[in-house]
Every structure is written in C-alpha cells, then in structure tokens.
A and B are shown apart, each in its own frame.
Chain A
C-alpha cells in the first residue's frame, strides 16, 4: 500500500487552476522528486500533502487514511521551506527539540532524541548557536534534524537547495539522499533543477501547468521521455521539424527542411505525418568520417562553449539549421575549433519522434 496517495486532486486559486486532477502515489521509503518550471504547481502540491492547503476536489490518503480534513500536525509529514524557517528565537537545541517538546514526551526521551539527531547531522557542537549564526548548509541540516526529531515519516522538501551556492548544492545532494535513506524516511522533494532531480530521486514526477506530464525513474524519464516538454526540460535536445516520407521494417525516413533526410528507428508514424524529431546533444558525435548505420550530416562549428566539464559545440547545418553537440571533456582530447567543418553523426535508435505539437514547437519548448 502506498504511503501517500493523491486521487484526482484539484486545487484552484480564484480563477486559476493550480492543480488539475492529480493522481500520484508514493511508496514507503521512496524518494520522489516533483520537477517542473515556475508556476507548474509544485509548491501547491507539497502544501496539499502537508495539510497547509485543502484540495477543492479529490482525496489525499496517508497510510491508507483519508486526510483531506486532518490538520497538519496529525499527518506525520514535516514541511521544509526553501529558507528552512528555523525559529529565530530558539537556538539549535530549541529548534530540534521543538517536536519532542510539543508532543510532550518525557524529559529524558526529549534529551536523548535531540542529542542523537544532532549527532547524526554533525551539529552536536553547535547546539547553542542561533540560526543566524550558522551557514546555509548548517541551517539545512538543523531543519532536517528538527524534522527527524519530531518523529515525522515523510519529509516534504520545497527547493531544499534553493538558498545555497551552486557548487555547494552538488556536494549536499548526496548527503541529503543518504540521510533520508539511512533513516528510512519518505521524501517528496520539489525542484526546478533537472540535474538535482535526476541525481537524488528514486522516481520523478514531471509537473507542468498543474498536470502531471510523466512519472518514472530518473533513467526512464531521461531515456524514454513521453513528450517534447519532458525531453526539453530534462536534459534538453536538438529538435528537427519534418514530415515522415517513408516507413519500412527498419524504421522511418523523415524529410527535413531543405530536403535533408534522416532515419529513425521508430516506425509508429504514418507517411505524410508532420513530426518533431528530438536528438540529445550528447548523442551527437562529431568527426572527420562518416559512420556506418548512423545518420551523417555535414556542418560547420559556429561556437565552442565549455559547460560543466563538457565541451558544447554549436553547429550550423547545410540547411541553415543550428544544432548542439556535447561531449564530456577528456583530459587528453583537444577541443575542436570554431570554423571547422565536421561530420555530424547520430544513431537512428537515439532519435525520438513526436507528433507535431498543436501550439507549435517553439511554444512547447519555450523556457522564458
């Protein structure tokens, strides 16, 4: 039985429908990420589970019990704000022991639990410090300790790394996940950072405009995205607009603008159908020779960028289309230069074909 379950949950604010018939279940001990752009309804979803909001329609179950009308304090789900909301008038000890004290445990148990949890997050020595005296990373740990000490089984994390430096986030991701797993907690983590979601979660739910776009394991989401939006939001890709010109037993042929043809393994489309082909940047290799069994196109390198340990190339194709290729920087490799003419190869099996979106391709992938 899932620990948290949402059935047809809808939430409106005035005329705006923030969440539209959401169905989602989270297993006990699972780490689930809710990933989506600003305004997708991520925070609303989290607040509904916490009981800080009440759904307009649908049911929320925790541990099999319908909790629509159950107040937050009886849900065993602790909500962690982006800036951690440590009580400013209490020190670290006061913050962490808040839950135990409010639940009126006996004094010994309060002390034991508090010091144990503080040790766990390596903050035993700072127990008398006040929140404003701690660094961002420490504050995050205090907030986690406070949640764990309160006996909560579910952690609701709203952008837990949002207040931290980019480089620090990378280090703390692993820490957060191990803490959750070691304590056998269930975590629901809201973020707009796809890399973060891919790295920490057992499962990801992609949220867009109040609806769930896709749910799956990080690998599944990455390798088998169900929509143009998902592939564009998670990892990004090159998009080719075209028309299916032929389908045979090996795959299909798509005709692009300017008469270029590419082969894809997907055979599910009909001849004449207008489609969008997506190819991930890291699946596009650049070289001097054509590769057998691959799509091979000719292009010129327009720009070279260095992105987080990878080289990213902007390439102009013969038909004036621009595409991007990304390769992990290896110590010995020498990067290609601007102006070089290269052969661009990608495997038909790496091409994903989507129906041409009604709103137009740009609207579908637009980030701004």
Chain B
C-alpha cells in the first residue's frame, strides 16, 4: 500500500533493533556459507579439486550426488504437481464432510518429525511387519528397489513425495482461495465445462502459486535429511553427503557442496520471485493450439467433467492414504506387535519393553532427548517470535518490506544441512568462535528457519483481517501508534502469531539435517531415531517414532483449534 501513516514510527529504536537481530540471526547464517568458500578458496581448491591423493575424486562425487539429488527431487515434484494441484483445487473449492480431516492429513508431514516418518515408511514397505503382512510375502520391497526409467529407489521416492506434497498443496490451495470464484462461474455460464474452466481460467491465474509451491517442494526435497538418512540405503543425496562430510571433518568439501545448494536455491527463487511479483497477463498467449485440436480437447474435457468428476476427487485421497496414513498405522501397530518380544524370533531382547527398560536404557535417552528438544524448540521459537512480530509489521508498512520478505524465503528453501553447516562455520570454532557445538548452536540454527515460518503466518493473518483499516480507525479515535497496535492489531492477528508459534515449534522439534551437524554431544529426539536405526535397535526406534507421531498429532489438533478460533 502506498499509504504511509504519519506518526507510526515504530520508533527508530524498535525498527533498528529488529533489523539488526534479523540480520545477525537470520540473514548472516544464510549467506555466510558462500562467503566462506571465497574466503577459504585455497583450502576448498585443495580438498575438492586438487587433493594430492585422490585428485578431483571429491569433485566427481559432488557432481554425481547432485545429479542424483536433482533426479529425485524433480521426479518427486513432478508427481506432486500431477496430483497435488487437483487436490489443492478440491480443498480450496469443494465443501464435503471430512474436509478438515483431509486437510490435516495433508499437513501431517509438515509437523511430523521427518526421521520418525521416514522410519515408519521404511517399516511399512520393506519389513515383514509392514504391508507385506497383508500380502503374505516376507518383504514387499527391498530398500533399493528402483523405479524403472528414472532409476530412483522407490522408497526414497515415496518418502520425498510425502514430505514435499504438503508444501505444494498448501501453497497452491492458498493461491486458489485468493482467486474470486466468480471467474469460474463466469466461465461456466459462458459454456465451458468445469475441466475447461480449470485449464483456461483457474490454472493460468494460479500459475504464480504453482511456481512458488514447486520451488518450495523442490527445495525441501533437495534439503531433506532426517527421513532420507534412514531410507537412503546405498544412495546418497546432497544433504546426506554434507552431513557425512561434516562428521568426517571434510569441512571444505561439505562447505563447497553446501554453497552450491544455496546458490541453486537462489537461482531458483529469484526468477520465480520476479515472475510472481510482476503483474503478468495471458501466460499462454504464445502457445497456439490449432482450432480443431482445441475443439477436441474441449469436447474431451466436457466428457471427462461429467463422467469422471468423482475420480479426480478420489485419486488424490487414495494417494494421501497410501503415503501418509498407512505408515502411521503400521508403525503404531508394530509397536504393539513388538511390545514384549520380537514376534518372529520370540526373543525378549527384541521387544520394546526390554529395549526401553533393559540394560541399554533407551528410556533415559528418550527422556533426555525430549528435554533437549523441548528446550531447543521453546527457546528458539520464543526468540524467533520476538523478532517476527515487529518484523512482520515492518514488512507490511515499509517500502523496503518486500525486500525483507524475499530475503526471508532463503532460509525456507536452503537445504537444512547447508544451513547447519553455515551456522557451524559462522559461530563455531573455525569462525567467530563464539558458540561451541551443542544445544546453544542448535538453538541458533533453529531460529534461522523459525523466523520465516512465523512471519509468513503473521503476514497471512495481517493481510486477511484488514488490520490496516482497523488500526487507522483506532488512530482517529484517539489511540496512539502503540496503543492502536496493542488494542486492535495484536488481538486481530493473535491467531496468526499462535499458529506461527506452534508451526515453528513443531518444525524445531522435528528438524534433523541441521541438528545433526551442529548438535555436538546433545541429542534431539529425531536424531535419536536416526541413531537407533543405525544401531539396529528397531523396537526402540518404533517406540520413539510412535511417540513423535503422537506428539505431532497433538500439535496438529492445537493448530486446528487455533486457526478456527
């Protein structure tokens, strides 16, 4: 808006404090990695390209891993697009019983700690206690069964689809909701079937949403660590490579890979940002379809609209069930199966009870990890909220607001392992040397991605409730800038703040990739699941995963209550 309000000087001090905190805690870590490469180019060159022993072996590995990651992420996004866009349409436009439930199910992978979810998927598809129980074979799939043509392990693919699906669906759904339904009705009254309407009216109008949703989903897939580390088997993705190299102290190689990913993220986001921000028009003008072909398409769409209207509603639903519900159910049922003993060998050592309370005392570990996780999540979310509230107001009110908002997208799409590495290099021993690996560094890392999550949520509430008008009214009624914000704006965006808080809290609880790099000797629960799987303590991992899933379900219920209230 062009209106500038006299006297709303969220006085200089508040603005500068907020901006300084924003720059130090959020922007600096996001960009440090790239400058690191330039600052220490000699080391990087030496390690990556000109190692006296291995030569450019590391460079060749980087290329291979990147190619594999790209293939995986692209195919996941393609799948998301085909099924996610129709689902987003259904969620945005249709009213039906159980819609809230479906919405929650789609959102579940957003709040579920990914390592727990990855483990659940692994059990479901590859172990004897999973889906294969239904079909009577011992294993439905091996961990490395690949999908033909694209040659990506099946299990890795479905995990990535499930985890990126909500980002695409949610973004596109929000975009479609913002488009007046009148356009579709107008198109229908002009004689277009619902499918033709979708193709010619809704789709072009929601292109910006589809673009940013895809970018987000792609970036998520590229940076996914928690679940990938569990299901990857022999394959290596870019973010896993970073974690591995960081743990092997091949910091330069890791940093080089990490900054490549950051650069890729930037290269993806900038054109999309520019494209989306421009007031664009007919997007498919140049795509000229011959008249009789377009007639055939329209006829076909008319036929399809009538006959197959149910199919398009049902298929996405089935996908959601397969990808999300089944793993959750399997993992919970497996816990009961393994409760007292391994159901196949009958050994007590293979039971959940023994592993939790037996000599390995996994219960203690779980409790300690829970404490660490909760402390990390609480502190990082609290600090992030303190930065986010004034930051949101600055973004909405100041001319440079949209620049800040674009900068905020970066931590959202940077692979979290790159982010963790960046924080480690910045604050840790090899950088400013202010913080050692451990709980404080985890907190610093989590603040980086918490701020954008909370800000987006507050801005959505801000723009949705017409805060500006109410605040201006309050001002003319005699409230000064501060009391207007206190008495009118904050109550109106309260829901957005709470939702952002909970979302970022759950994010923080479930984060794995960055945490693995910066955690030092402190362990969070999702990392614990990874450790358990690596130690082959399957029953303990089952229990912990269930515990995480239940925790995130509770969070989901809280979000639902907040957003409705």
| Residues of A bordering B, CB below 8 Å | 13-14, 47, 50-54, 69-73, 75, 77-81, 85, 87-89, 98-99, 102-103, 146-147, 150-152, 156
Contact = CB atoms under 8 A, between A and B. Distances in A.
Contacts of B491: 89
B492 A89 contact: yes
Nearest to B492: A89
Interface in B509-537: none
Contact of A52 (B465, B476, B478, B488): B476
B336 interface: no
Nearest to B2: A13
A81 B7 CA distance: 20
B483 interface: yes
Given A52-B476, A79-B476, A87-B470, A72 B483 contact: no
Given A79-B476, A87-B488, A72 B6 contact: yes
A81 to B, nearest CB: 6
B212 to A, nearest CB: 27
Contact of A150 (B5, B478, B487): B478
Contacts of B7: 51, 71-73
| Chain B interface size range | 20 to 34
20 contacts: A13-B2, A53-B4, A72-B6, A73-B479, A75-B476, A77-B476, A79-B472, A79-B476, A85-B469, A87-B470, A87-B473, A87-B474, A89-B491, A98-B474, A99-B477, A102-B479, A102-B487, A150-B478, A152-B477, A156-B476
A54 B2 CA distance: 12
A72 B476 contact: yes
A68 to B, nearest CB: 8
Instruction: Among A13, A72, A102, find the residue whose CB has the most chain B CB atoms closer than 10 A.
Output: A72
A54 B5 CA distance: 8
Instruction: Among B476, B487, B491, find the residue whose CB has the most chain A CB atoms closer than 10 A.
Output: B476
A52 B477 contact: no
B483 A102 contact: yes
Nearest to A102: B479
Given A13-B2, A51-B6, A89-B492, A152 B474 contact: no
Given A51-B7, A73-B478, A102-B487, 12 more contacts: A51-B475, A51-B476, A53-B4, A70-B6, A71-B475, A72-B476, A78-B476, A78-B477, A85-B473, A99-B477, A102-B478, A152-B477
Contacts of A52: 3, 5-6, 472, 475-476
Contact of B492 (A47, A51, A78, A88): A88
B481 interface: yes
A73 B469 CA distance: 15
Interface string B1-23: 01111110000000000000000
Contact of A151 (B465, B470, B478, B479): B478
Contacts of A151: 478
B2 A72 contact: no
Nearest to B488: A87
Contacts of A156: 476
Contacts of B488: 87
A78 to B, nearest CB: 5
Contacts of A77: 476
A201 to B, nearest CB: 21
A71 B4 contact: no
Given A89-B491, A89-B492, A102-B483, A50 B476 contact: yes
A70 B481 CA distance: 12
Closest 6 CB pairs of A and B: A71-B7, A72-B475, A79-B476, A150-B477, A85-B473, A99-B477
A80 B487 CA distance: 18
B3 A53 contact: yes
A75 B491 CA distance: 25
A271 to B, nearest CB: 51
A51 to B, nearest CB: 5
Nearest to A52: B472
Contacts of B473: 78-81, 85, 87
Contacts of A89: 491-492
Nearest to B7: A71
Nearest to A67: B6
B563 interface: no
B406 interface: no
Contacts of B3: 47, 52-53
A45 to B, nearest CB: 14
B480 interface: yes
Instruction: Among B7, B466, B480, B488, find the residue whose CB has the most chain A CB atoms closer than 10 A.
Output: B7
A132 to B, nearest CB: 13
A253 B74 CA distance: 82
Contacts of B465: 88
Contacts of B5: 52-53, 72
A146 B483 CA distance: 17
Nearest to B8: A71
Given A52-B5, A52-B472, A53-B3, A71 B477 contact: no
A151 B479 CA distance: 12
A103 B478 contact: yes
Contact of B477 (A47, A51, A81, A102): A102
Nearest to B494: A89
Contacts of A73: 7, 475-480, 484
Interface string B454-497: 00000000000110011011111111110110011001100000
Contacts of B477: 73, 78, 98-99, 102, 146-147, 150, 152
Nearest to A75: B476
A51 B480 CA distance: 12
Contacts of A79: 472-473, 476
A50 B465 CA distance: 22
Contacts of B484: 73
A90 to B, nearest CB: 9
Contacts of B481: 71
A71 B475 CA distance: 8
A305 to B, nearest CB: 29
Contacts of A75: 476
Contacts of B480: 71, 73
Instruction: Among B2, B469, B473, find the residue whose CB has the most chain A CB atoms closer than 10 A.
Output: B473
A47 B475 CA distance: 12
A199 B161 CA distance: 65
A150 B469 CA distance: 17
A88 B488 CA distance: 10
Contacts of B483: 102
A232 B6 CA distance: 37
Given A53-B4, A69-B6, A72-B7, A98 B487 contact: yes
A78 B473 CA distance: 7
A81 B475 contact: no
